[in-house]
Every structure is written in C-alpha cells, then in structure tokens.
Amino acid sequence: MRLSEARERRDELRDMLSRGLDPSAHRQAESARLRLEAEQARAAAREVRSARRAETQAKKVASEDAKRTVQVVVEEWIEAYRTGWSVQHAHQNWQSLRDHVLPIIGSKPIRSVGTADILTVLQRMLAEGKAETARRVRQRLAGVFQFAVLREYIDRDPVPLVAKEFTKLRAQALKINPTESFACISREELPALCES
C-alpha cells in the first residue's frame, strides 16, 4: 500500500470513530457480507448447473420416449415371450395387436398412452361386433403394459383402470350383438354331413 493510500485509510477510520462506529466491527460486518454474497453466488451457480443437468436428462428421456412407441414395445414383448409360446399363440398375439391396436395407437410413445386410448381401441372392436377378440386384445395389452412397467418404460399401467368399464361395455355389446351358436344336427342328418 502506498503512503497516500494509507493516509486515506487512516482518515476513513478516524471519521468512523468520530461518528461512533467501531472500525473492527465494521470490517467484520463487511467481511461477513462479502462471504455471504460469495456463498449466494456459488449457490446460484450450483442451481443453474443442476437445472441444466435436469433439462439435459429430461431431453434424453423425452428422446428415448419418442423412440419407444407402442409398436416397438409390442414387438419387444412378443420377442421376449415367444420362446414360451407355441408358434400359433405367438402368431395370434401379434396378429390381433397388429390388426386392432397398432393402427390406432402404434405410433404413440408408450409413456403418453392413457386409459382413453385403450378404451378407444376396445370400443372400436366392440362396435364392430368383435367382443371376444376385444377381450383377448385387452388381456394382451395388459401383458404389454405390465412388461413396459417392469422395464421402467412407463410409471403406471393404464390397462387395469379400463377393466371395469370394459366389462360393462362388453356386456352391452353382447346384448346388442349376441353370439350365435351353430345349430345341432340330428343323428339322421349326420351321414349326409360326413359325405359332403
């Protein structure tokens, strides 16, 4: 420190004393204020870094979710369980989901599928008079969504929430379009049936 600066500092301290202020306490208060400002600046910087990390993670999850569509998860589900199924069962699972689910919600990210989407799929099938196929598709969707929950692709399974409503809708559909049983033939008609 130069002599002129030291004299200025001396005059400031004398002025403080003349006003009744303790220079030591003032210096400590100023030091505490500077430490507090520095800590606040560090905390703000940590918060900004944390927000950036969270944003990056959210973008990564969103990107993965966009790629993980219902169709991708259905294919993954079938591939995972195919070895335990017969060829016919695997084909039936794939065919029913391909024909009735994938055209409606296949391109949606699985995380964005809700109960309304599941009901839409099932209601269309019931409207077409396919009550039994709709029941099987609901079971298969339950398997797909349980698979997705177990692999943490989604947080919740929307299919069980639909079950009660679907049961009501299916009962109504069966009243409107009852299933027809084939007529029995008599013993006398049996030989003629076998010949044809």
Please state, in angstroms and as integers, the Cα–Cα distance from residue 75 to each residue in 33, 63, 66, 98, 157, following that order.
62, 19, 16, 10, 18
Please name each of the domains of the chain with its CATH number: 3-65 (no CATH), 70-176 (1.10.150.130)
Higher pLDDT, 122 or 27: 122
Q: How many residues are present in the chain?
A: 196
Residue 78 CB neighbours (<10 A):
20
- Under DSSP, the state recorded for 151 is T
Site of tokens 């209601």? 123
**pLDDT of 195 above 80:** no
Closest Cα to residue 179, out of 135, 132, 137, 144? 132
The upper half-sphere exposure of residue 157, i.e. CA atoms within 13 Å in the direction of its Cβ, equals 18
Q: What is the pLDDT of residue 149?
A: 94
91-99 average pLDDT score: 95
Strand partners, 109: 69
Distance CA 53, CA 68 (A): 22
* Dihedral sign for Cα atoms in the order 113, 101, 104, 127: negative
Mean pLDDT rounded to a whole number for the chain: 87
- Measured CA to CA, the distance from residue 168 to residue 27 in angstroms comes to 78
Quick check: 153 and 109 in contact, CB under 8 A?
no
Q: How confident is the model at residue 100 (pLDDT cuts 50, 70, 90)?
A: very high
Kindly report, residue by residue over 148-159, the tens digit of the pLDDT: 999 999 989 999
Which pLDDT belongs to residue 65?
Answer: 67
47 to 22, 74, 148: CA distances (angstroms): 37, 40, 33
pLDDT of residue 39: 92
- Which phi and psi (to 5°) does residue 109 adopt? -60, 135
